[in-house]
Amino acid sequence: MEHASSPAPAKLNLFLYVTGKRDDGYHDILTLMQKVSLYDTIDIQVEEGNAIQVQITGLTGREAPGDTRRAGKPVPSTPMSTNRDIPVNEKNTAYAAAQLFFRQKGIQKKRVGITIEKHIPVESGMGGASSDAACVLTMLNKLLPSYTGPELFELSKEIGSDVPFFMMEGSGLASGRGERVKKVEIAGPLYYVVVKPGFGISTRWAYSQLKSLTKNGLPFMCDLVFYTKEDIVRCLQNDLEAVAEERAPEIKTIKEKLLQSGAKAAAMTGSGSCVFGIFYEEQEADKAFNTISNDYTTVYKLRGIEQRR
């Protein structure tokens, strides 16, 4: 039996412009994404057989390891494979990644057991499902070497729009439906206080409700290869925010509270529902975390992750 385990990081969208509607039903976007210090943990076992099994455990984002902090009392870890929010069949991106890995090249099938310890919130805009899928592809290819790096990257595009971003290290500028990714560097460290309200937002729903697109006037800084902290604050923008705020005004309220707590800027990430504030100093983030924790149960203090030099 072969075995591997790896963390799968969350991400934040530091800007997200929706620039067009495509014939395939997707939207064209331009987005800057940075990985942050909140992780799911993926454990894979490969042995003789012919089945893919996915089990979900953990806290679905209510607590996180490492340098992450969470407000509120700890929630016991319990099996969640029957959680209605997280499928364990081919609708699960990790399952789909494993299935595609074997099918694409006609690789002899194995019994693959995938355990996902969830810490990244569901329907939060933090990319947990995409990160899990990228992690599964990468680990399977280490256990069963079958694809070159470029081949595996191309394969990831078939699973989900954000999956290619998680196949690379560091931050990235994504375009198309998200599958075209260019590496960029963000000066750091940047610290974030992230608030998960008591509801999620479906990505499909958010895009279906868009009433206008950003077709002209994109800031010049949307195509840089290096971003300073000040650049990030200046270009912070999310075209899906207005849609989300119309449905859930609490998103705007959270933004205002983050700004009042000292954030340099605040925005929703992805299609929501998580909202984050940017801080240049860790002490500033700590102070805001403690303040915001008085009003919300699920609050994280996170650090941006850049590629190791």
Give the integer Cα–Cα distance in Å for 153 and 164. Answer: 6
Q: Which amino acid is present at 46?
A: V
Tokens of 228: 């300073």
Comparing C-alpha atoms, which of 7, 14, 269 is closest to residue 131?
7
Residues 6+ apart with CB under 8 A from 76: none
Q: Catalytic: which of 11, 35, 118, 196? A: 11
- What are the Cα distances from residue 190, in Å, to 15, 59, 70, 306? 15, 26, 18, 10
Place of tokens 């076992």: 45
Q: Catalytic: which of 40, 132, 162, 239? A: 162
CB-based burial label for 205 (10 Å; 0-12, 13-18, 19+): middle
DSSP 267-285: EE-TTSS-EEEEESSHHHH
- Reply yes or no on whether 11 is catalytic: yes
DSSP 177-226: TTTEEEEEEE-S--EEEEE--S----HHHHHHT------S---GGGG-SE
- Reply yes or no on whether 162 is catalytic: yes
Query: Residue 306, Cβ neighbours under 10 Å: how many?
Result: 18
Extended strands (E) in the chain: 2-21, 27-47, 51-58, 69-70, 111-118, 171-175, 180-186, 191-195, 226-227, 237-238, 265-268, 275-279, 299-305
Looking at the DSSP bridge assignments, the partners of residue 165 are: none
Q: Which residues are catalytic?
A: 11, 162
